Structure 1
Amino acid sequence: MRTDDLSRRSVLQVFVAGGSAALLAGCGASGQSPAVSPSGSGTVSEPISITDQRGKTLTFAKPVSSVVTIPMPAASLLVAVDGSADHLSAMHNASWVAMRDGVMGTMFPRALELPHDVATQDFTPNVETVRSLNPDVVVQWSDAQLVEPLENAGLTVLGLKNTGTQEDVDAWVSMFAAMLGKPERAAEIKARSDKELAEIKSAAAGRGSAGPSILYFNRFTGGLKVAAANTYNDFYIKLVGGSNPATGKDPLPGSGMVGLDVEQVLRWDPEVILLGNFDQAMPQDIYSDPVWQNVSAVRSRRVYKVPLGGYRWDPPGQESPLMWLWLSDIAYPQARSGLRGKVTEYFRFLYNHEPTAAELDKILWISGNSGSADYQQFNAG
């Protein structure tokens, strides 16, 4: 669509609430595509209205040019939707660390120069720091105690839910694309995600037998925490056909990332263990520790470090379809997806970047996972 087509459209309105998204443009609730070019490069001259996941409506006179992100996945998600780091003004330190340690900082080096002291580890905002940046909008988790200090300081806040669903990811993408003036970018990203989701579900349904028990460690060093009920990790373990001991017959109480002791893990005896990217634990740390030697996943050497791409693959984000494929290949190594090629294709789409062989090895932790079963399937051909 040419830019001059935009002048013939009426007000763009984007409503995103409750984890679902509908993009409306000029045609009421017809569901037709918004008035921007398919590449997402068109300009939006009319006000942009967004209802966030608190149910609060924000209106911007024009696409935003300065965004501070506090939720950890938000910084890299914004960059992926935007295709650049030009409109990201600051981020949570954990977001910055993922960019530094992954490949996002290589693809978008400007991001590593941005402030990353805008909130404490528990997302409490450093209000004066944020206000000094004078952003158009601050992206924050929707808890009142996290949002109100920012709004009381006169800042515009876009509230996100943290309920660990794919619908949340879709909603975040839609809101970010809308406020950047690139609503069709959200449709493109969701279409790809939906396609991969359908294929993963179909493959899992077609196996006709239960998959392995898979335990995800959000933290391993300095105290054990695993993904329990209402987590995205529980969602994708079950998506690929596996089972999560933390939500099975002997479940952990509570939801989210829950602390536990070694004895509970020994009772569960998981067949596969995943180590997240929120600490430095690697498979060799478990293989070499006598405490874990009787666990099935250790005996069969099925302990894996989760990949780290443009963002960590363990929480929800723009690269989640790649996590589903990787985990499916881990759970069922005989049914290989050609993941390296999929990562390359996705990175071209998300970041306009062709990853090198060395970058693919880094993303997939080829070296760190080299002692684990069947991991050679992810090596360069």
Structure 2
Amino acid sequence: MKKLSKFLCAVLAAAFLLASCSKKDSSKSAPSSKVITDHNGTQVTIPAKVERVVISSLLPLPSVYCLYMGGPKKLVGIHPSSKAAAVNSYLATCYPEIKEIDSSFVKGNAVNIEQLLALKPDLILFNAGNSAEKEIFESTGIPAVGFSTNIAGYNTIETYGKWITLLGEIFGKTEKCDEIIEYGRKINEMVKSRTASIPDEKKPVCLFLYACEESSIKTYGGNMFNQYWIETCGGKNASYELKGSATLNMEQIYKWNPDKIFLTNFTPALPEDLYTNAIGKYDWSNISAIKNRQVYKNPLGMYRWAPPSSDTPLALQWFAKQIQPELFSDIDMDKEIKSYFKKFYGVELTDENIKDIYNPARAASGK
């Protein structure tokens, strides 16, 4: 009996030891954190399992996040401008819960730390170029990952691809990631192959307006996303010699005399406002784009079609059709949009939905 008792004790001790080792091994195989390198080149330690996410100053990122995640899962806070676009876009139709996501942690483009902390995020995603926010987030101790807008030289397709890649590093790479990136590159190659040999005299002069209000008219120079859209699609950027954000006067616009004007969804202005001189005391009547009715309001799908967004491959095709309509006459945008939304968002669009995408509300500007 004594020998049997000793044997049983030994067995139990061995079992306990194995169980303990198993727990240790298990804890080693499932770390509580991991280190990633963001677009600032900063190594950031983030939770291995992220549960509450805030997206701050990179306004288009919520749309790309929803494309990647299949909706606003784990998202507890977004910038007010991102929310204005979301609520007035198809993003809210597809994912109505985004309307309830908090945006009160930003007031007048300034982060309120108390409101931010109240959201209890375990990860913040922000614009890598916003150094002021970076300092604020570092002071809170909450892991913050920077996403860059100029990491690909303002090539919109490659920029959105790099955002998706970084999301994959944070949340886990999926086959869908590669498929989305590859589709964008395929569209980019198709458009470039068609516009590569266009002679200079057949390239229309194009002007993007990011603000067109009574108080100011603004564009971006040749080192921003508008340069990529225009150049890739076979046009000439009127504001090429400018840098960054630039305020314009009508004298400069008369001098450029653009053939085509694109109104982004950062401004509430619509083409009819320019056709009828309805904004301030500006007189647009003698400009070529006005005379020929070549003013276009950028569509609004899951986000504004100007910076990178989850709709970027669609935006590239749409811009190509407006800038070089004959060269891209074979592209049926209604069909392309429906196919893209079904494949990547799992959404069946109606003709009425398409009409809404082409005719965004003024309120989408957030102004």
Instruction: State the 1:45 CA deviation.
Output: 5.8
- Decide whether the 8 Å contact of 1:275 with 1:282 is kept in 2: yes
Counterpart of 2:161 in structure 1 is 170
Larger Rg: 2
C-alpha change, 1:273 and 1:78, in structure 2 (3 Å) is: same
Tell me the CA shift for residue 367 of structure 1. 10
Distance 1:338 1:121, change over 3 A: farther
Per the TM alignment, residue 349 of structure 1 is displaced from its structure 2 partner at its CA by 2.7
Does structure 2 retain, via aligned residues, the 8 Å contact 1:63–1:181?
no
With 293-302 and 59-68 compared, the bigger mean Cα shift is at 59-68
Q: Distance in 1 between matches of 2:249 and 2:325?
A: 30
Q: Which amino acid aligns with 2:144?
A: V
How far apart in 1 are the matches of 2:250 and 2:49?
A: 50
**2:168 and 2:177 in contact (8 A); partners too:** yes
Counterpart position of 2:36: 50
Contact 2:211/2:218, CA 8 A, preserved across alignment: yes
Structure 2 vs 1, CA of residues 45 and 297 (structure 1 numbering), >3 Å: closer, same or farther? farther
Q: Alpha carbons of 1:190 and 1:49: their partners in 2 closer, same or farther (altered >3 Å)?
A: farther
How many percent identity over aligned positions? Answer: 28
Which of 69, 73, 76 aligns to 1:86? It is 73
Please state if 1:343 is matched with 2:344.
no
Contact 1:361/1:367 (<8 A) preserved: no
Determine which of 262, 275, 284 is the counterpart of 1:287: 275
Count of aligned pairs? 319
Quickly say closer, same or farther: Cα 1:295–1:152, change in 2 above 3 A: same
What is the rounded CA distance, in whole Å, between the counterparts of 1:153 and 1:367 in structure 2?
37
Match of 1:308 among 278, 292, 300: 300
- Alignment partner of 1:50: what SS? strand
Task: After TM superposition, list the pairs within 5 Å mapping 1:357-368 onto structure 2.
Answer: 357-365=351-359
- Distance in 1 (CA, whole Å) between partners of 2:164 and 2:145 is 13
Distance in 2 of aligned mates of 1:121 and 1:245: 31
Single out whichever of 75-84 and 330-339 deviates more from structure 2: 330-339
Q: Partner of 1:377 in structure 2?
A: none
Letter of the 2:283 partner, please give it: V
Residues 193/48 of structure 1: CA separation in 2 closer, same or farther (3 Å cut): farther
CA–CA separation in structure 2 for the residues paired with 1:203 and 1:48: 44
The runs of 5 or more residues in structure 2 that have no matched partner are 1-28, 363-367
Separation in 2, partners of 1:162, 1:310: 18
Instruction: Choose from 75, 78, 82 the match for 1:95.
Output: 82
Pair 366,310 (structure 1): closer, same or farther in 2 beyond 3 Å = closer
Q: Give the structure-1-normalised TM-score.
A: 0.79
Q: Which has the higher helix share?
A: 2
Q: Which amino acid counterpart does residue 134 of structure 1 have in structure 2?
A: K
Instruction: Between 176-185 and 294-303, report the one with greater CA deviation.
Output: 176-185
* Paired amino acid for 2:68: V
For residues 81 and 265 of structure 1, the distance between their equivalents in structure 2, rounded to whole angstroms, comes to 40
Deviation at 1:348, TM superposition (A): 1.7
C-alpha RMSD of matched pairs (Å) = 2.0
Cα pair 1:292 1:298 within 8 Å, conserved: yes
Distance in 1, Cα, partners of 2:84 & 2:131: 26
SS in 2 for 1:259: strand
| Greater RCO structure (CA 8 Å; 6+ sep) | 2
Mapped pair 1:193 → 2:184: yes
Q: Equivalent residue of 1:284, what SS?
A: helix
Task: Give the aligned partner of residue 18 of structure 1.
Answer: none
Q: Secondary structure at the match of 1:292?
A: coil
Alpha-carbon shift at residue 207 of structure 1 (Å):
3.9
Matched, 1:150 2:140: no
Distance 1:161 1:321, change over 3 A: same
Gaps of 5+ in 1: 1-43, 369-381
CA contact (8 A) 1:223 1:259 kept: yes
